[in-house]
Structure 1
């Protein structure tokens, strides 16, 4: 893959990571609000864990792109 395409993929990966961080933050706020009002948070916490796993995968992908760029 050419360098320009890799840089475009890197930019996309960085945007996805930023979006993921925002989603995690927002979900943490939702869970706190649900807790505060006495609602069940099991599903909300499960979704948060899914967000975190997905975020870790995004970071691995970004790191892979960075390694390829360094070669």
Structure 2
């Protein structure tokens, strides 16, 4: 069961990395085309906040698994 949670945590972290990279690309494109990037940057900050939570959750699961090991 813990291994399944760890797999899910790994998927969430990977998805977060993908979303963050995509949002950074959008910001670059918006900026290049002269558009306001304020809202896109706010969304990026939200993605980064959630990503920190995913990484912390993953670490807790890894610690729990190691303590059983």
Q: TM-score, normalised by structure 2?
A: 0.96
1:6-65 CA deviation, whole Å, 9 max, x = no partner? 000000000010000000000000000000000000000000000000000000000000
**Counterpart Cα distance in 2 of 1:41 and 1:29:** 11
- Say what the alpha-carbon RMSD is for the aligned residues: 0.3
SS at match of 2:34: coil
Structure 1 unaligned runs (5+)?
none
**Counterpart Cα distance in 1 of 2:57 and 2:14:** 14
Number of residue pairs the alignment of both structures matches: 67
Equivalent residue, structure 1, for 2:56:
60
Q: Kindly indicate whether residue 20 of structure 2 is the aligned counterpart of residue 24 of structure 1.
A: yes
